[in-house]
Structure 1
Amino acid sequence: MNKKFIAPLSTWLVFSTFLILSSCNNGAKKTETVETEKTIYASEVIPFFNDWKLILGDGSNVGKAINFEHKDFFYTENDGENNWVVFKAPNAGDTHGTSNNIRTELAQVKKFYPKTANDKLTATLKVMNVSTTGDARVAATHAVVVGQIHSADKHENEPLKIFYKKFPGHTKGSVFWHYEINTAGDDNSGRWDYSSAVWGNDFSVVGTEVNTYPEEPKDGIALGEEFSYEIEVVNGIMTLTFSSKGHDTKTFTKNLIESEYTATADIPEQTQKLFVPLGQDGVERQEAYTGEGLFFKLGCYNQTNGKSPEINKNWCSGAETHEGDLEKQYADGNYAEVWFKTASLRISDASVSNQEYFDKND
């Protein structure tokens, strides 16, 4: 062999070997990056999960959801700009407590009493899906509750439920809120809700036939459109504030310690049309929710279910449930899904443990 070619050949071999090793090393680094990609947990997006227990869409209570996710019901998503906490609930499955409906929802670990309250919950969210099936004549069909105040005592009624509702084929849906009376006496079967519209319609606007829908609200909120709510209870008065870009800000107040519905003559016309024909014609105790422990809830409480409207035309939707098959319900839109971007909680010094409520309902 000609010696003058030995050095260049050796150099070429060494250089080639370096390139191969370098290429392999770079490939290993890329694989390692994918394998160690960090999960972003809900408790990193909204750092207040020590104050809540999480109820999942399978009826289970997983406790404080610190560094927790469940890909069927509770996880995070990034929309290209922000991280969001996702709550998801099918039309059918296992429920929590005595409810007929599926929820993936946070429940506050403390409760407050309205007379001594100085408590506040805020949230910014967008609803991504409501059930695609259901009887349009049923008031709760195609709806989801995204925030609540719930009583931990006696009847365990709800002085506040914040709804989003959108009919199939409509671009815009409605946001409204409910007050449920704290029924006088021991029989709670006569309880009823009164609904107030925020943007769009209230609860009472329904279809004329199973698949015939009312007119789309002109000032409604679309799926994927952000809105915010603030719930504040101070010295017995609940104040609600709703805001969304491009919409008028709305504020409401409600006295939680003195009832305006203590006689049959006080029942509002809306309630007389919706609830009284079903035998839900009770009156409220004079002191309303005085003396009862109240607590906040936040998340995705699906109001659409598969129960027959013949049972209750306000709450039983007759929707598709695929006999509780989760994968099939998610595949054809028979679920509710809500994304939260921010939220905050103020807890008054007078608040106490809410563990007794969980002991009764878990």
Structure 2
Amino acid sequence: MNQWPRSFTMTALMSAILAGCGGSSSSSDELSGGSAISSETSVPQFTCSSYDELSLLSAVDDGSFYESYSPDKAIDGKGTSDSHWSSEGAGKELIIDLGTTSYINMVSILWYQDSDMQREYAFEIMVSEDGKTWQSAPVTKPSSVNQDEYVDYDIDTAKARYVKVIGQENNVDNFISITEIKVKGCGESFSLDPMLPPSSNFDLSRWYLGVPIDLDNNGKSDSISEETLNNGYQLENTFYTNEDDGGMVFRVNVDAPKTSTNTSYARTELREMLRQGDTSIKTQGVNKNNWVFSSAPESDRNNAGGIDGVLEATLAVNHVTTTGDDYQKGRVIIGQIHANDDEPVRLYYRKLPNNSKGSIYFAHESRNSTNDAWHELIGSKSDSASNPSDGIALNEKFSYQIKVKGNALTVTISRVGKNDVSKTIDMSNSGYDNGGQYMYFKAGVYNQNNSGNANDYVQATFYSLEQSHN
């Protein structure tokens, strides 16, 4: 990966345009899992055939903008000095969301200028695919500029959805002030395609899908193999591509077939399968289909398909149940680590019927205890929780990361423009580092309501999904 200069200085009339090449519970719940977003921003060797101005979805800062000069004014298209973003202090950030991942290779900022003075700004530009892991962008400064004009700055082609401008100083005062930002590139061809099935937009080669139907009438929900899943599988109103934005939709009703008689709730959920369709490798066991902790015995580490793991996803929860018993309303599991019979982590989203925003929390199930340990990240898990002030609304995008290294489990929730919320717990006394314990990720929707109306349902749309192991 290229090493990019972290900052540069430009004269008073400069502006920046981003230009790019566009472009639980049951021990028998064995066949479900998930995948997540990459933690690295790649910089491929890529050349745009044309540079088109990209649409900008939103702009945010840390909320400390000066007076009425809010971030949205930097992308309102006016380009006038009375409509600009401004914030005081070194290190202030303006984050632009393009809405979709694009290949970008040029930046321009129309800097705010007083009529009687010329400001020189020091700043840096960074880019990110997920709004969490950032890479500094190499910028080529033009040889000359004219006052009050956009100035294009070439950068090494970068695949990104988010662009961050970090102001350091100017020669007049302590403000970073931007009149307008534009982005050019070839981004549209690199976004999720609403016309394609999920397996064409996402790498699902290492996943098995559990769906809440029972076509073989065996009394259990059906499982879709890796091969079938990756051959364009979709199921109407259950697992499909969102026709508006190309996201991967998971949906399940309250009254739907379940994975076994020991399972209380229905699900539409992926189960990690490291064997990638090689049926000579068994689904269960310490083998090349599953992974173990790096704190596991050496023999298990040698036999497993991976050691430790990271599951990352970007998603929006679209609907939760509103009927049924109070302790079950509005809750859904969106990501897990499953072991032989227990679950090191279950990640919940919950929004109560009278609240406008939802909470995020997780459960840790120890093999050496009959009670789960609960950890709240955003809001409360209470059945009578008040509306969480910093909660997550339905249809609001956010990202999660579930990470295991040795006996340390870390769950992190990320949102653009907000600080990450994270919790790490010690699993040394939980028994998962014992011989014979194997792990797999799960992701999708696991409805935690079996008392509601039959047609009540949970639904989530995933926009990014990846997993990784050592």
Aligned residues of 1:240 and 1:253 also touching (Cα < 8 A) = yes
Aligned equivalents of 2:457 and 2:312: distance in 1?
24
Q: How much does 1:248 deviate? A: 2.7
Aligned equivalents of 1:234 and 1:183: distance in 2?
20
Aligned to 1:300: 445
Deviations 1:57-105 (A, max 9, x none): 22110112111100131000043xx310000011112100321100000
Aligned residues of 2:377 and 2:423 also touching (Cα < 8 A) = no
> What is the TM-score when the length of structure 2 is the normalising length?
0.49
Aligned residues of 1:239 and 1:254 also touching (Cα < 8 A) = yes
Q: 1:188-199, aligned counterparts within 5 Å?
A: 191-199=370-378
Aligned residues of 2:194 and 2:242 also touching (Cα < 8 A) = no
Q: 1:85-124, aligned counterparts within 5 Å?
A: 85-97=248-260, 98-109=262-273, 110-114=289-293, 115=295, 116=301, 117-124=307-314
> What is the TM-score when the length of structure 1 is the normalising length?
0.63
Q: 1:131-280, aligned counterparts within 5 Å?
A: 131-136=321-326, 138=327, 140-151=328-339, 153=340, 156-183=341-368, 191-201=370-380, 203=381, 205-207=382-384, 214-256=385-427, 258-259=428-429
User: Structure 1: which 5+ residue stretches go unaligned?
Assistant: 1-36, 185-190, 208-213, 260-283, 307-318, 322-328, 349-362
Deviating beyond 4 angstroms after TM superposition, the runs of 4 or more aligned structure 1 residues are none
Cα 1:320–1:289 change in 2 (3 A) is: farther
Q: Which has the higher helix share?
A: 1
Q: How much does 1:246 deviate? A: 4.4
Aligned residues of 2:195 and 2:246 also touching (Cα < 8 A) = no
- Report SS of the residue matched to 2:310: strand
User: Structure 2: which 5+ residue stretches go unaligned?
Assistant: 1-192, 214-220, 274-288, 296-300, 302-306
Aligned residues of 2:194 and 2:246 also touching (Cα < 8 A) = no
Cα 1:148–1:38 change in 2 (3 A) is: closer
Deviations 1:226-254 (A, max 9, x none): 11011122223222221013443112222
Check if 1:74 corresponds to 2:207. Answer: no
Aligned residues of 1:128 and 1:223 also touching (Cα < 8 A) = yes
Identity %: 28
Aligned residues of 1:57 and 1:88 also touching (Cα < 8 A) = no
Deviations 1:267-286 (A, max 9, x none): xxxxxxxxxxxxxxxxx6xx
User: Which protein, 1 or 2, shows the higher relative CO under an 8 Å CA cutoff with sep ≥ 6?
Assistant: 1
Aligned residues: 240
Highest CA radius of gyration, 1 or 2?
1
Q: How much does 1:143 deviate? A: 0.4
Amino acid at match of 1:251: S
Aligned to 1:290: 434
- Report SS of the residue matched to 1:342: strand
Deviations 1:13-66 (A, max 9, x none): xxxxxxxxxxxxxxxxxxxxxxxx99411012212x111100002211011211
Aligned residues of 2:317 and 2:461 also touching (Cα < 8 A) = yes
Aligned residues of 2:202 and 2:465 also touching (Cα < 8 A) = yes
Aligned to 1:358: none
- Report SS of the residue matched to 2:208: strand
Cα 1:198–1:246 change in 2 (3 A) is: farther
Q: How much does 1:121 deviate? A: 1.1
- Report SS of the residue matched to 1:61: strand
Aligned residues of 2:254 and 2:449 also touching (Cα < 8 A) = yes
Check if 1:320 corresponds to 2:453. Answer: yes
- Report SS of the residue matched to 1:43: helix
- Report SS of the residue matched to 1:222: coil
Aligned residues of 1:219 and 1:247 also touching (Cα < 8 A) = no
Aligned to 1:30: none
